[in-house]
């Protein structure tokens, strides 16, 4: 699910809940061949969570699709980079539990007259029922 959000402060410390911690980040240049890099880096980042293969693939495909959309939107708005961040709950032990996720896409550092802006994609993984 993609929820467009217009936020003017890109600081991750200003999220409404302190229950999230950042698991990893990835920065890509617009126009780079991102699919392989996204797959490799996010797979490595998510490895400690020991996610089911099908669920992991859903996250990877979602990240790749979002990066493609950002690259295509670049013809309308000039983006410098794509930032992908993965957030998990502070207490993320999940043996035998089911994970879910959502992501939010936003424009970082929007300012009048800026030549380029960055496209941020924040993924939030959560244990269902918690």
Q: How far apart are CA 60 and CA 33, in angstroms?
A: 15
pLDDT tens for the chain, residues 1 to 130: 333 333 333 344 444 456 899 999 988 876 656 778 888 999 999 999 989 999 999 999 999 888 888 777 655 456 667 889 999 998 766 666 789 999 998 877 655 555 667 778 999 999 887 6
Listed in sequence order, the residues at least 6 apart from 107 whose beta carbon sits closer than 8 Å to its beta carbon are 6, 77, 117, 118, 119, 120
CA-CA distance, 78 to 111, in Å (whole number)? 12
The arrangement of strands across the sheet holding 2-4 comes to 2-4, 99-108, 117-127, 79-89, 20-29
């Amino acid at each position: 699910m993609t929820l467009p959000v217009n936020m003017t402060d890109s600081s991750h410390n200003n999220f409404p809940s302190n229950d999230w911690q950042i698991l990893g980040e990835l920065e890509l240049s617009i126009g780079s061949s991102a699919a392989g890099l996204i797959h490799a880096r996010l797979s490595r980042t998510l490895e400690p969570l020991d996610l089911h293969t099908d669920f992991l693939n859903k996250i990877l495909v979602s990240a790749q699709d979002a990066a493609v959309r950002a690259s295509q939107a670049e013809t309308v708005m000039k983006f410098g980079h794509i930032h992908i961040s993965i957030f998990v709950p502070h207490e993320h032990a999940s043996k035998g539990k089911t994970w879910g996720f959502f992501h939010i896409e936003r424009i970082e550092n929007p300012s009048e007259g800026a030549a380029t802006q960055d496209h941020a994609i924040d993924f939030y993984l959560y244990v269902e029922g918690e």
